[in-house]
Each structure stands twice: as C-alpha cells, then as structure tokens.
Amino acid sequence: MPKIRLFFKENFFQNKPLILDNERFHYLKNVMRKNKNDKILIFNEKEEWSGKLQLEVKKVIPENLIKKSEVIPDIWLCFALIKSKNINYLIEKVTEIGLKKIIPIETSYSEKYVPNYQRLEKVCIEAVEQSESLYVPKIEKKKKIFELLKNWDQERVIIFCDEDRNGKNILELPIKGGKKIAIFIGPVGGWSPHDRKALENLNFFNVTLGNNVLKVDTACIVSLSSIRNLL
C-alpha cells in the first residue's frame, strides 16, 4: 500500500483531533478506501506524526511524533512567468527538490497573466506530501523584475542564469552552505536589455547551465539541483 501523508497548517498535540475537510475525507474514504482506526502520516512544517483515523466524525488523531523538520537551504527561485499549462509541472518539480520561496516574475518577454495562486499552493503541498519532505515553499505574488530587485537584500546572492552562455558554469560557483541564494531564470525569449538594467547596481553571478538552451521549467530544475548540490 502507498504511504499516505497529509499536510496540516495546525500545530499537533498528542490525542487532540484534527478535522478532515471534505476533500481529504473523500480522498481517504473513497479513493484510498481507508477505514476507522487506520493509520496515516500527518505533518506540518515543524514535524511529522503518525495519526489514527476517525472517519465516522471526519477526524484524525495525532499519536506519536516521528521526526522533526529538516533544514531547508534558503533558496529563492525567481522565474519568468511561463504559460499556465506548464507552470504546475515547474512548481511540482522544484518543490520536490526543496527550496524556501518561489517568485514568478514579469519580464519584457514573459507571459503576463495572473497565476492561480491557490492552485499553485495545492500543487506545492501535494509535491511535499509525495516527496516525504516537511517544508512547503512559499509562493509570492507575481512581481515585475524592477519591483523585485528594488531595495534588494545585499546578503542574498543572485545567481543570474543567462541564455547567452557567457558566464561561469553554475557547477563552478564558489558558493558554500549558509548563504542566502536567489536564482533568476529568464523567459523563452531571453532577458531583454531592459531586464538586464534591473541588475546594474547589484552584485551577481552571471552563469550558464551548459551548452544547450533550456526551456524555463527545465532550467529551473537544473539550476536548483545544481545549487542544492553545491550547498
């Protein structure tokens, strides 16, 4: 049987019931065919517990603490907004890898729509449930690149992924653990001269992800995986 993990925002206390909403109740009873007193795993961003189901009253009872939250590197992913049909896949995969924050950005050549943030948060939660992690990354509202970089925290290192491939290979960056990182991924049409002006007065690493030009979602996965391996 597959391992069932459900995310809750509430704090857990032994034997204090948590309420199952209608969607979770349907999933447990009708999809997974769970019964009264069956065991599942429940977690929030701090810890994971075993839980006993009380489906007759739509509740789960926290029983035993299993593990505490792990340390997630302080990485932000700032990516140029892509077509809505592809964004769920991007969010799912970077969440599985692990990061602190996801920020869609509007650039000269990016898509211009307003994402469905409620749906994206749900995708994040489902990815964390599946990947056996605990931390659900925060998804910020879309920002224009100049707005995002205004009053930028100088302690957060910018990794600027450049499709021109003139920078240092991302795997050769002199970055160690403990750093605050922000990865910037441009749109399908690349970074415009106007976009690049947003970084004029900032320190950043101009990097390449290799010899091939990657799609935005692929570039996000490759860059995040590379930085995670360096830290």
Looking up residue 139, the CATH number of its domain turns out to be 3.40.1280.10
Residues 110 and 39 in one domain: no
Helix, strand, coil percentages, rounded to 5, for the chain: 30, 25, 40
Any idea what DSSP says for residue 167? S
138-174 b/e with 16+ CB inside 10 Å = b? ebeebeebeebbeebeeeebbbbbbbeeebeebeebe
The residue out of 49, 68, 87 marking a domain boundary is 68
Residues 92 and 56 in one domain: no
Cβ–Cβ under 8 Å, residues 76 and 98: no
The count of structural domains within the chain is 2
Name the residue range of residue 107's domain: 75-230
- What is the reported pLDDT for 39? 95
* pLDDT tens series, the chain, 231 aa: 568 999 999 999 999 999 999 999 999 999 999 999 999 999 999 999 999 999 999 999 999 999 998 889 999 999 999 999 999 999 999 999 999 999 999 999 999 999 999 999 999 999 999 999 999 999 999 999 999 999 999 999 999 999 887 789 999 999 887 789 999 999 998 999 999 999 998 999 999 998 888 999 999 999 999 999 998
Residues 113 and 10 in one domain: no
